[in-house]
Amino acid sequence: MLDANPRRVSYETGLMGEPPVTLNGEERVVVLRSFVETCRVNGWELHVAHVRSNHCHLLLTAEAPPERVMTKLKAYATRHLNRRYGRRERRWAVHGSTRWLWDVEGAIAAAHYAIGAQGERMALYVGSPAWLPRR
């Protein structure tokens, strides 16, 4: 892993209109529960969700474009956080990383990364691995 580039961090921080959001343990649980609910309401299958202090990893199956899925997940999480902790102008980055996973090996690698390659586990959901082949 590379060390942070102080000049880039300073530049990126200067572009932000507000200080960066850092979720505490309780807030991470609120966000995690909102992700589970959003997937349930929309008929998406949530496989893995790991809400970290400053970012989230999700692995899910949805019959919708990734951008729409991400927008809904952020909207529901924002609504839950705002109800509980008060409004904040911005909580999320403008977009985020979305990847299509085309095979089981890719899904397994993504799940392992989301669950175990981020350091200490925080607010974690691991659903039924329905996408794994039956043996």
Q: Is the pLDDT of residue 36 over 90?
A: yes
DSSP 54-95: S-EEEEEE-SS-HHHHHHHHHHHHHHHHHHHH---S--S-SS
Does residue 4 carry a pLDDT above 90?
no
Q: What is the pLDDT, as a whole number, of residue 131? A: 61
Q: Could you tell me the residue ranges of all domains in the chain?
A: 23-126
Strand partners of residue 48: 59, 126
pLDDT of residue 92: 80
Entry pTM = 0.83
Burial of 36 (0-12, 13-18, 19+ CB in 10 A): middle
Give mean pLDDT, residues 77-81: 94
The residue among 64, 47, 66 whose CA lies nearest residue 131 is: 47
pLDDT greater than 90 at residue 118? no
